[in-house]
Structure 1
Amino acid sequence: MTGDESGAPVPGPGGFPYSRLWEDGAGETATAPLPVPQRPPQTQSAGPPPGTRAVVPRLSAGLRLHGEYQGSGFTEPKYIARRGDGQVVQLTRLLHLTASAVDGERDVHAIARLVSAEFGREVSAENIAYLVENKLDPMGITVPEGQEDDRAGGPRSDLLLSLKGHTVLFTERRVAAISRALAWLHRPPVVVLVLLAAVAMDTWLFGFYGAMTPVLHVLDQPLLLLAVFGLIVASLVFHEFGHASACRYGGADPGCIGCGLFLIWPSMYTDVTDVYRIGRAGRIRTDLGGVYFNVVFMLGLTVLYFLTGQPFLLSAVYLGHFEVLEQLMPAVRLDGYFILGDLAGVPDLYGKIKPILLSMVPGRPVEPAVADLKRSTRVIVTAWVVTMVPLLLGDLCYALWNLPRLIDTGIRSLTQQLTGTYEAFADGQVASGLAGVLGSLMLICPLAGMTYLSVRLTGRLARNALRATAERLWLRFVLAAAVAGVATSLGFAWFSGVTPKPLPPAPPIAPILQPHVPTAPAAVGTLPSGHTPAKGHTGPGAAGGQGGTGPAVMPLPWRTPQPSNPAVVLPPPNPGTTPAPPAAKPAPTGPAPRPPVPSPAAPSKPAPAVGPSVAPSPVPHPGASASPSAGATPSPVASKPQASPPAVSPPASPKPGH
């Protein structure tokens, strides 16, 4: 307690002196003289009337009074209290003084005498009873009269992203140890270096490499989807330690870290309520600590990409940008809600953002709901919304521009996965089929979750738009025209081929999870006769096959020897359409003649199979020097003279299987 020159006590709960001179610019630590009650002390009620029982209020279990809200954006000081269930409640000065005087032993008359002395005006016992019964009890600050236990309910905020199955992951002791080890990342020089590196990373990723390409690669691979899912979960955990370490760096004590489940995505939370007892700078640092650690995590993934060359790491980096932008939005109670609240000095912005934005329209009067806010507070809120909404819209437009290739890749991958799983069961391969079911679930769950979340948020936006334009049909027409224009433009871009094309199918990284999916798709234009891109070489007499059955899959590209001059390796021509060379002799009726042997200067280097040396040697069967498919078809067609000698020149290296 502190006092002024007139002797009236001035409360300073939480170690912070309160101030009534916000509008005069006197600062956060200024104090103002309070009026001394003019009524003589003996006129105050000294006790309960004869024959009546005095009411003794009690505080609810776990209640903590944090004192004055430092850096307040209100014209009058506000005070903060935290209930036992973790809900933070905003109080006026009179309610805070009343709650501070409640100790479970004083009755309303003793509380009235104490509050009157601290408030500077006479407050009767009837006033205290009214405040307790009609204000503090409904808010869960005090326990209703007659209740045996100390648990008291109260209103709670209805979060958009509600969590299911709350559980504690890290206790306060573990959080304190880990946050202490990570607190050095919040030093100003380190923060500057991290932000500069983040600018360089985004310039390279979005301006040169292309952020959508790694995402398309991941959609083809169930195993990579699982890996990206794991990286996102790790980034969520690291995000929460950003809040905890910033809280520790600012001098407050972080609480536990827990999680819940929203749809299929884990959602984390950190108890940093202790920051309410430190200044505004510490609160803002704590609010920003989560997204700051997201940036640090993305930088680490980028470094790993340059070390390993794995594109799925960049896919997690791209999704991390969405996580950061979502966290910075003040529309839902995520980090952006608390960042903006501490910047503006308003601990509870719920329901105030729209009136604040409307009050900043030139010529429009200030809404009554925000009339008690400073103009600087309204400017900060407006600037934040005007900055964050275009950033989120830009990222959303980037995703919509690439939506066709995302949908095409997702449908192709899922169809291929389900078809391969069905074929595995149809062929009696139960183990492969069960592994395919697991891979299918790894594809279906993320795709279904993103679809459901998109539909839910779209429906919520549509309902809010209809509600906001219920009495203004012209505004609804303008909004509908804008949405139709955007949809028409995107549809034209999608169907006209302006948007980027999908990537070709990629071989599975874990073939066991993708049965009957080709492990090495090849280009159709370079395959010999009898090969198909999906099933490999199934022509008759394939190399290494028995009875005309070829291998189930093609060899990997880096394991297949390539000819020195692939342009001349062609399938046998059709005898009905290939003209005979002008100087060729009539085809003999005897055994098939050997193909002409090229001169020593024709090949780039001697071939071991048919060496064009000076000493003549027997020329192998045409099947050894023809195309791979001709090696197993020694028909008269394959032995006819070709249109030009280079067409049957032997390759520089033996074919697979020879």
Structure 2
Amino acid sequence: MTASEEHSGFRTLDVQVPHPWDGFPQEAAVNGMPESFTHSMHTKAAGAFMPWSAAPVPRLSHGLQTLGEYQGSGFTERKYIVRRGDGQVIQLSRLLYVVVSSIDGVRDAEAISHRVSGRYGAEVTTENVVHLVERKLTPLGITVPFGDLPEEPSAPRSDLLLALRGHKVIFHEAQVARIAAALSWLHRPLVVALTLAGTAAMDIWLFGVHGAITPVLQVLEQPLWMLILFALTVASLVFHEFGHASACRYSGGVPGKIGCGIFLIWPSMYTDVTDVYRIGKTGRLRTGLGGVYFNIIFMLALTAGYLLTGQSFFLAAVYLTHFEVLEQLVPAVRLDGYYILGDLAGVPDLYGKVKPILLSMLPGRRRAAAGAADLKRSARIIVTVWVLTMVPLLLAEAAYALWNLPRLLATALRSLSAQCLGTYSAFTAGQWAAGLVGVIGTLMLLCPMAGGAYLAGRLAARLYRAAMRATEGKPAKRLVLAAAVAAGCAILGTAWVQGLAPKPLPESAPVTPVLQPGVPTTRAPHPTPTGSPAGHPAGTTPEKRVTRRNSTSSPRTVPSHSAAAPPAPSATAPAPHSGTPAASTAEAGPTPSTPAGSTPTTPSPRPSESRTTSASPSPPPSESVTASPSPSATAPSGPSPS
């Protein structure tokens, strides 16, 4: 799962969208007054033509809010923002904002023109007001057609490819306001300084003294601890969101609701902090960093929990939360790092500037790159560096995923099948903790598969529509483009069929049997003579071994050596197991490692050298492969992939 802040979307006459601060609206940047005005107007009032002598009365759409000037903007001209009732945020020029702020549902167009002229500092006629309302504001859903009653706007919303989907509210505005007010003191400078100092001391102790990997490996051996770790991860995400909300409140803004949805291919949480755009850049940066700051506070609380109880799952949660913080700060997609960079540049939608920036670099296309010309020099440098870094990276990642698609699908489907079978076996065996771990693992496999298919479908549809628009009225160019796409698909398909693409990962055992729950143990510990240096005290079993996790292995049956049952008589003594002394005689009796008269026992699924070897889920192919410990090892030989 991921967390982010959400800004309800910006729109610039060619739309843009919200901050997922864990979620934000879209901006429509409408540029100033047209060079000439049209002096004809129709109204829907009674479906008839309205003469200029009867000045119409403009009305705002239901729920519209004016948020004021966009503070700390990276644009050369001042920008103003409004928010529609459906949450969409729209960026306007000063003239349009003055017109909107003058509409109250009572004044007619003539009265509005006088008010706008005084506030704008230039003459604006009644015809100008009517033109702006009809041609600019109504299509954006800011005003309703003349004669209609205010209602929910039916104007188009931004439809970003990399946007949060399926919003589900968890905490409403009133609840968020109360909790954010109670937590806002954590953003005081002295508290922040003490928190950062404590974090530095915690990391030095965890990574330099105690060790961070051992607690993770210990948790992997216990299904119940893995469930607790999952619960702590979810709690960290929720606390992360209140970091954004409380920072917004501390900076003078009004935080909105907190909810969840699907971001790209993973479940994600969001906080609506759209109101932060009317406060200064410092407040926006504090709001953007508030989430990871609260993650740091959460890690300090977890460390305190470990010092009080000695339970390893607290430190395992601290270790994993470090990766959550790093993930949030990467500015590639609409997570916290993306919005922090946008706040530094003063540009709310960086992806909306990708096309203008790229066009501005082409010879002879300066005029076509007007969207980049309205940026200040400092903002343009930041955005250009981001575009030149992230666009090649995203294209390379997409190409890598496409080339490895057969490998990814085959490995994922095999892992999903093994995980489902193991989960079913765990529940039927009464191992509820292991079964719940299997359910979580199954969902974690299904989410990227379903999300990836949905994202690929939307991307293909967008590319198709863009190609149709670019080649409209140009049949020769459309034919060439179709031939190029067909050739590319043929080459890629041939590579897949001929085996030129990477093969699926080989099957192997998981890092720990907990990751393949519910499969009965099929191998007991090998007999070891008492008194041997490698032997264990009577009645004990060696610790469970940790093996590779990045692929799966099919079930296999290993002969079980029973400590209670005598071997079947035979003329030839059985061959000794590698590393185990051979029995001197073949007569019946207890094995050397079992005292005579001891009660026969069966191997337990608890941590021991007896482990499950059935199919298990494999991690993504990018994870590194660690060597499996030797059979005599009683502890993990190295760190486990996180």
TM range (shorter): 0.5 to 0.7
Superimposed CA distance per residue, residues 570-593 of structure 1 (whole angstroms, 9 cap, x where no aligned partner): 42357xxxxxxxxxxxxxxxxx9x
Deviation digits for residues 165-187 of structure 1 (CA, Å, limit 9, x no counterpart): 52242524423333324333785
Secondary structure at the counterpart of residue 53 of structure 1: coil
Structure 1 residues 419 and 375: CA distance shift in structure 2, 3 A: closer
Within a 5 Å distance, the mapping from 1:630-641 to structure 2 comes to none
* 2: CA distance, partners of 1:519 / 1:317: 36
1:180 and 2:181 correspond: no
Superposition deviation, residue 130 in structure 1: 1.0
Q: 1:358 to 1:523 in 2, by over 3 A?
A: farther
- The answer on whether the counterparts of 1:228 and 1:316 sit within 8 Å (CA) in structure 2 is no
How far the C-alpha of 1:164 sits from its partner, in A, is: 2.4
Q: Which residue of 2 aligns with 1:611?
A: none
Q: Shift of residue 86 of structure 1?
A: 2.2
Question: Quick check: 2:244–2:271 contact (8 Å CA) kept in 1?
Answer: yes
Distance 1:438 1:457, change over 3 A: same
**Correspondence for 1:645:** none
Q: Which residue of 2 aligns with 1:70?
A: 71
Q: What is the Cα deviation at residue 336 of structure 1? A: 4.0
Partner of 1:377: 379
| Letter matched to residue 372 of structure 1 | D
Q: For residues 230 and 359 of structure 2, what CA distance do their matches in structure 1 show?
A: 40
- Candidates 415, 418, 430, aligned match of 1:415: 418
Displacement of 1:59 after TM fit? Answer: 2.1
How do 1:480-499 and structure 2 match up within 5 A?
A: none
Alignment-derived partner of residue 512 in structure 2: 506
1:131, CA displacement in angstroms?
A: 0.8
Higher RCO, 1 vs 2 (CA within 8 Å, ≥6 residues apart): 2
Residue by residue over 1:1-41, the C-alpha shift from the partner in whole angstroms, topping out at 9 and shown as x without a partner, is xxxxxxxxxxxxxxxxxxxxxxxxxxxxxxxxxxxxxxxxx
Question: How does 1:221-232 map onto structure 2 within 5 Å?
Answer: 223=224, 226-232=227-233
Q: SS of the residue aligned with 1:105?
A: coil
The residue that corresponds to 1:87 in the other structure is: 88
**Does the CA-based 8 Å contact 1:175-1:255 persist in structure 2?**
no
d(CA) in 2 for partners of 1:249, 1:571:
76
Instruction: Supply the distance in 1 between the matched residues of 2:409 and 2:321 (Cα, whole angstroms).
Output: 17
Deviations 1:125-158 (A, max 9, x none): 1111111111112222222222234433333222
Q: Given residue 324 of structure 1, which amino acid in structure 2 is its aligned partner? A: Q
Give distance in 1, aligned partners of 2:341 and 2:316. 33
Instruction: After TM superposition, give the deviation of residue 105 of structure 1 in Å.
Output: 1.6
Contact 1:344 1:377 (8 Å CA) reproduced: yes
In the alignment, residue 374 of structure 1 is paired with which amino acid? K
Mapping for residues 205-220 of structure 1, pairs under 5 Å: 214=216, 218=220
1:572 aligned residue: 584
Aligned to 2:450: 452
Provide the residue aligned with 1:269 in structure 2: 270
Q: Closer, same or farther in 2 for the Cα pair 1:459/1:106, shift >3 Å?
A: closer
For 1:125, the equivalent position in structure 2 comes to: 126
CA distance in 1, matches of 2:300, 2:358: 35
- Residue in 1 aligned with 2:61? 60
1:432 shift after superposition: 3.3
- Aligned CA-pair RMSD: 5.8
- Whether contact under 8 Å (1:197, 1:299) holds in the other structure is no
Change (3 A) 1:412 1:266: closer
Question: Residue 522 and residue 386 in structure 1: after superposition, are their counterparts in 2 closer, same or farther (change >3 A)?
Answer: farther
Query: Deviations 1:338-378 (Å, cap 9, x if unpaired)?
Result: 33332222234442123225536799747222222222211
Q: 1:216 to 1:377 in 2, by over 3 A?
A: farther
Alpha carbons of structure 1 residues 103 and 192: separation in structure 2 relative to 1, 3 Å: same
Distance 1:204 1:391 in 2: 33
Which structure has the greater CA radius of gyration?
1
Matches of 1:281 and 1:481, distance apart in 2: 51
Say whether the 8 Å CA contact 1:66–1:82 is kept in structure 2.
yes
Residue 234 of structure 1 is matched in structure 2 by 235
| Aligned residue-pair number | 496
Deviations 1:603-632 (A, max 9, x none): xxxxxxxxxxxxxxxxxxx95894549989
Q: Which whole-Å CA distance do the structure 2 matches of 1:228 and 1:241 have between them?
A: 20
Instruction: Kindly state the Cα deviation for residue 535 of structure 1 after the two structures are TM-superposed.
Output: 8.7
Contact 2:62 2:151 in 1 (8 A): yes
Worse-matched range after superposition: 121-130 or 260-269? 260-269
Whole-Å separation in 1 of the counterparts to 2:524 and 2:457: 41
1:432 matched to which residue of 2? 430
Native 8 Å contact 1:252 1:275 kept in 2 = yes
Residue number in structure 2 paired with 1:15: none
**1:518 aligns to 2:525 (yes or no):** no
Secondary structure of the residue that 1:135 maps to in structure 2?
A: helix
How far the C-alpha of 1:196 sits from its partner, in A, is 4.6
Shift of 1:95: 0.6
AA of the residue aligned to 1:370 = A
Q: What is the CA–CA distance in structure 2 between the aligned matches of 1:376 and 1:230, rounded to whole Å?
A: 43
Code of the aligned partner of 2:583? P
Change (3 A) 1:435 1:295: closer
- Structure 1's unaligned 5+ residue stretches are 1-48, 549-565, 575-591, 593-621, 633-658
Q: Is the 8 A contact 2:69 2:79 kept in 1?
A: yes
Amino acid at match of 1:167: V
Match of 1:81, SS? Answer: strand
Is 2:343 the counterpart of 1:345? no
Cα 1:308–1:441 shift into 2, 3 Å: closer
